[in-house]
Amino acid sequence: MRASASELRVPRPAQSVLRQIHALAPKSLGRIAAVEPESGQFFLGDTLLEATDKAVKHHPGKAFYIVRVGYRTAHWHRGGIRQRKP
């Protein structure tokens, strides 16, 4: 059975936690932070996998909010979708 969209949504952490993460920008610009929204605890890594591995060790079974330090989004996609011709 598939989960509904509302079940997959991870709550946004408090603004104070996000400000704290982005304040790391001079030294940690571009690194990934996995945030456990309820506690506000976050874990930094150079990759998404590294950050979430650290977070899961401390908060198994939880969902994490992902942030890229100093950026508005964690991932950026360029281009569009091309349809294949039959």
pLDDT single digits (tens) 7-66? 678 889 999 999 999 999 999 999 999 999 999 999 999 999 999 999 999 999 999 999
Asked if residue 84 belongs to a domain, the reply is no
CB contact at 8 A, 74 and 68: yes
Asked if residue 46 belongs to a domain, the reply is yes
Asked if residue 5 belongs to a domain, the reply is no
- The rounded distance, in Å, linking the Cα atoms of 6 and 78 is 27
Asked if residue 81 belongs to a domain, the reply is no
Number of domain units in the chain: 1
Specify the pLDDT at position 73. Answer: 83
What range does the domain containing 33 cover? 11-68
- The rounded distance, in Å, linking the Cα atoms of 47 and 40 is 20
